[in-house]
Amino acid sequence: MKYSKKLNFKYGVLLAVFLGLAIVFESCTCERTAEKTSEKMIEKSLGEDAEVDIDDEKVTIKTEEGTFTADATINSWPDEIPGDVPEFKDGKIMSVSTQEMDDSKNWVVIYEDVSQNALKNYQEELEKAGFKISYTTIVASGGHLAAEKGALAVMLMAGDGNATVTIGTNQ
């Protein structure tokens, strides 16, 4: 899977900065002003070619390397995820992030209210769908797994009632 660690790190740091700013500005009655200020700060830190759009609970960052979107208003499995990937149906979706770079696309789906058996159950679903399990770690409170099928890669981390499913593909 082709990706830029530098870009992913930048997005992670900038998303953390944005979330911190969002908390500070949350009590402000000038919500739009806060969004614009946050956009300018992120754009400045990424460079002149970055385009940032913040709208309520959605952040979109576009650069020459690709597009990153985080949307806390999406509460369902994204339709764009390839059909070969079984839907993770355990728990409630809290947010969805997408990243498009060059010839790859990635999704990160974050869940809450996830059962203790979710990891084992999803592993079985992936195997039924023809995925090869690369590794699995299961402990009492959760664990993680990685699976591959052709150009698709799926990772699941689960524990303490929460889970994160990451799907990547080379288009």
Check residues 7 and 116 and name the one with the higher pLDDT. Answer: 116
pLDDT tens column, 35-82: 555 555 555 556 667 777 777 777 888 887 778 787 878 889 999 999
| pLDDT for the residue 11 | 54
- Tokens 């952040």 belong to which residue? 59
How large is the average pLDDT for residues 18-36?
53
How large is the average pLDDT for residues 162-166?
95
| pLDDT for the residue 46 | 61
| pLDDT for the residue 21 | 54
pLDDT tens column, 87-133: 999 999 998 988 888 778 899 999 999 998 999 999 999 999 999 99
| pLDDT for the residue 48 | 62
